[in-house]
Amino acid sequence: MRALLEETSEIWAFRIRHGRLPLAGVEDVAAPLTTIESGAFGPEDFRPVLSVARAAAAVRRALERAEPGWLSQRRERLPRFDDLLEQAQRIFGADGAVRDDASPELAAIRARLRRRRNEVARSLEKLLDQRRDFLGDATVVLRNDRYCLPVLASARSRVPGMVHDRSGSGQTVFVEPMEVIEANNDLALLAGEERREVERLLTEFGRAVLSASPDLEAAVAELAALDALEAKVEFGDLSEGRVPAIADEGEWVLRGARHPLLDSRLAPLRRRVLDESRDEREAVPLDLELTREQRLLVVSGPNAGGKTVVLKTAGLFSLLAQSGIPIPAASGTRLPVFRAIRTEIGDAQAILSDRSTFSSSMETLASILEQASAGVLALVDEIGGATDPEEGSALAVAFLEEFLARGGRVIVTTHLAAIKNFAAARADAVCAAMEFDEATGRPNYRLHPGLSGRSRALSVAKERGLPPVVLDRAREILGEAWRRREERETEAEAALERLRRAEVALAEEREKLGRDAERLSAEKNEVSLARARVREEGLAGFEKARRELARHVDEELQAIRADVARRSETSAAQLLAQAERAVADEPALVEAREQEAEKSRGLEEGGRARVRGLKVEGTVVSLEPDSAWLEIAGKRMRVSRSELEPARPATSPSSKRAAVRVSSKADTVRVAGPPQTDPTGGPIQEVNVIGRRLDEAIDEVEKALDEALVAGAALRVIHGHGTGRLRDGLREHLRQHPNVASARAGDAREGGNGATVVELK
């Protein structure tokens, strides 16, 4: 059972991903193989055989996409027919006839046939033109496989030749003229040769088919099994069903089970298969839950209230699951495995064989009891009925005791109080009642475990049209005790209905709260995203403003180069200060500065700090209100405190080395603190462009040259060794620069040939 369900699940998943299997055209090959074996066959007898071979090949190709599992095993069991199909392709055309080029001999014979037919046709057409006045029709006809002319019976003597036939009216005879008799003889001989060659080819192919007959029969069996699997999936799709779980512990759980003969989803299928024409009404789903220890379920309630449907649904769904067929039920359905399922449902009386309803019921119960054991399920409708209630109840209770003692499991329906009381007193039994709507006087078809249902005979009789006078008299006969019991049971059922409705309302409220929580969470996420977008847009605007100011600074620096006097009055530092003041009150910048200041807290002299956004780490030498002096690789630089954050302590020599690395392809560091000195004693600044493209490096060096000009310092450009292209390109650019006096390679202390020291004019 587990294997069948797993295989159904596997082909269902395969069908969702890759579509249906190419099973069209598969037929039984037993009859064609028998015909071929007898020798009396033609090309059309090979069509079913070739259809199976082609379908097997197509299915094998389709199943190559299947994951390892049951379908891949079926693919391996499908025989291959490559040689047979290749031979068939050489012999047969698309229409199933033998091809002209099936063999060289056949090709030569048919070529001669065509030439000879053309010659005969030309000869006859010439005769038609010469003797058209006494010919019955101006066409060439074929009679007895020989070409003839239609001649008027009155002019028969004017066309010498052999008569082969006469028309139905007798007015025309079909004459083979003497001029074409020899040509027709040649055609007959060639046709015989063609027939013998075709027979030889078909006989040869027939032997190949017969040698592959075991594989063909195995292929039909495998393809039929796959077709059955697809039919299971088709049923699951139509019924919106699912593959059930196996209850390893023997529990029995049905969730939203819908009987296929009542489910509106399957109405089109029932109309097509069963020619059903009744009005459709949505079936009430069945919920049922039994533990492993609960081996008896007694269902009671009104007539036409759905008791028998419960019985049939439980048994049918077990059989569907054990056949690997999806069941029309909701998730959470789990079914036990039964070795056998025996039923006693319906009226089996037979007048001619002297079998009453009760006697046939007893015969069936006796047979069921003979097979009672663990793993056997019995389904008994109206147990103990059709006889005296007291005797019927006693027999039913005795039967149930013995069946349960032998280890079986049983579901019964009944109206008898003694059977309900028997079940209520046992720990391994459950009573369940079918729901009844007192307001409408109609059953609701819902099963309520824990209750003993009432038969509601008077309500059903009223619904079916029995006169009120009869119903009133029946109540008088039943007496006051019956009325009080009815009232108590009605009150209990009403309380149960209120509880059920409260449970439904609570479930709906929980679902609503869950939806509200999801909505609030989504709104919170949207607000967070909106705030992040606003902040990003603000920062983007600030960056745009900074870039615009930087452009203005560049323009001013160009003016400084042209006018030394103005350069002495206005420095780049002053311009940058003005720019900073201009955007000091920008909200996005204020928020960004506050966040950066928060990150910069915790700096202390002698501690380690990192330049934010760069892989640069050093020791804090001293702290000032807005800046700090940082020592990196033996060099000091002044950095704004907002750009610093405490560094994590290094945990290994490799991490310490990573902390002092000062450049990468994406980051460039210029020392902007107290200028260093070159070997000649003058101040020097530096810029690191290792990893940059040449055009990017030139832009960085230009900015560094501007700062060095303002500071009156030399400049060291760190470009590394690499391939030398970056170094040579930079030095060539620097030599041509109007403000550069010289550009030389650094000495050993300055980085050697991996750096260039620039002296400014």
Domain boundaries, position 68: 2-81+212-238
Q: Which is nearest to 263 in space by CA: 334, 322, 330?
A: 330
Residue reference for tokens 């028309």 = 167
Whether the predicted pLDDT of 688 surpasses 60: yes
Q: How many domains does the chain have?
A: 4
Residues 355 and 453 in one domain: yes
Highest-confidence segment of 135-149, 646-660, 739-753: 739-753
Domain ends where: 410, 440, 457?
457
DSSP 264: G
Confidence (pLDDT) at 574: 59
pLDDT in tens, 601-651: 667 777 788 776 555 678 887 777 777 777 776 666 777 776 777 876 544
Residue 577 pLDDT grade (very low, low, confident, very high; cuts 50, 70, 90): low
Q: What is the CATH number of the domain that holds 675?
A: 3.30.1370.110
In a domain, 223, yes or no: yes
> Is 408 a domain residue?
yes
One domain for residues 325 and 420: yes
Q: How many CB atoms lie within 10 A of CB 684?
A: 21
Q: Are residues 272 and 400 in the same domain?
A: yes
Determine which helix (DSSP H) or strand (DSSP E) holds 443, and give its type and residue range. Answer: strand 442-449
596 inside domain: no
DSSP label of 180: G
* 409-413: strand order across its sheet: 340-344, 376-380, 409-413, 296-300, 429-437, 442-449
Residue 6 has pLDDT above 50, yes or no: yes
Neighbour count for residue 681 (Cβ, 10 Å): 6
Residue 507 lies in a domain: no
Report residue 648: phi and psi, to 5°.
Answer: -70, 145
pLDDT tens readout for residues 9-26: 999 999 999 999 998 888
Number of H helices, E strands in the chain: 21, 24
Q: Are 106 and 98 a contacting pair, CB within 8 Å?
A: yes
Q: Is residue 653 part of a domain?
A: no
Q: Tokens at residue 218, please?
A: 């195995």
Span 272-304, pLDDT tens digits: 888 877 666 677 888 999 999 999 999 987 777
Tell me 683's DSSP state.
E
- The arithmetic mean of pLDDT across residues 137-156, rounded, is 79
Q: Which residue has the higher pLDDT, 316 or 169?
A: 316
* CATH code, domain with 142: 1.10.1420.10
Task: Give CA–CA dist 445/299, Å, rounded.
Answer: 12
Whether residue 60 is found in the same domain as residue 108: no
- On whether both 254 and 323 belong to a single domain, the answer is yes
CB atoms within 10 A of CB 62: 19
- Same domain for 41 and 154, yes or no, is no
Q: Is the dihedral of CA 222, 225, 227, 230 positive or negative?
A: negative
Whether the Cβ atoms of residue 136 and residue 175 lie closer than 8 Å to each other: no
- Boundary residue ending a domain (457, 479, 504): 457
Name the most confidently modeled range: 201-215, 435-449, 657-671: 201-215
Residues 357 and 440 in one domain: yes
CA distances from 475 to 418, 478, 647 (A): 22, 5, 94
pLDDT at site 514 = 83
Tokens at residue 378, please?
A: 């019995």
User: Could you give the C-alpha distances from 176 to 186, 191, 691, in angstroms and in order?
Assistant: 14, 18, 100
Detail the DSSP E strand segments found in 308-401.
334-335, 340-344, 376-380
Helix axes 2-18, 213-239, angle to 10 degrees: 80
Give domain status of residue 712, yes or no: yes
Residue 562 reports pLDDT greater than 70: no
pLDDT in tens, 182-215: 888 888 888 889 889 999 999 999 999 999 999 9
- Are 64 and 151 within one domain? no
User: Is 655's pLDDT higher than 50?
Assistant: no
Contact 420, 431 (CB under 8 A): yes
| Confidence bin at 358 (pLDDT 50/70/90) | confident
State the pLDDT at residue 412: 92
CATH number for the domain harbouring residue 348 = 3.40.50.300
Instruction: Report d(CA 753, CA 730) in Å as an integer.
Output: 13
Residue 633 lies in a domain: no
Residue 349 domain-assigned (yes or no) = yes
Dist. CA 230–CA 324, nearest whole Å: 11
Instruction: Give the mean pLDDT of the chain.
Output: 79
DSSP reduced 3-state for 224: helix
CA proximity to 252, closest of 166, 313, 196, 184: 313
3-state SS record for 596-622? HHHHHCCCCCCCEEEECCCCEEEEEEE
Tracing tokens 């292209």 back to the chain, one arrives at 725
Residue ending a domain, choose from 441, 457, 473: 457
Which pLDDT belongs to residue 218?
A: 93
Mean pLDDT score, 246-253: 85
One-letter-per-residue 3-state SS of 126-178? HHHHHCHHHECCCCCEEECCEEEEEEEHHHHHHCCEEEEEECCCCCEEEEEEH
Are 77 and 118 found together in one domain? no
Q: Within this chain, do residues 107 and 51 fall inside the same structural domain, yes or no?
A: no
In a 13 Å sphere around the CA of 155, the CA atoms on its Cβ side amount to 15
Question: Does pLDDT of 116 surpass 80?
Answer: yes
Q: What are phi and psi of 677, to 5 degrees?
A: -125, 145
- In one-letter notation, the amino acid at residue 418 is A
DSSP class of residue 278?
A: S
Same domain, 330 and 447: yes
363 or 204, which is more confident:
204
For residues 155 and 290, membership in a common domain is answered with: no
User: What 3-state class would DSSP assign to 355?
Assistant: strand
Question: Per-residue pLDDT averaged across 554-566, rounded?
Answer: 65
Q: Could you tell me the pLDDT band of residue 580, with boundaries at 50, 70 and 90? A: low
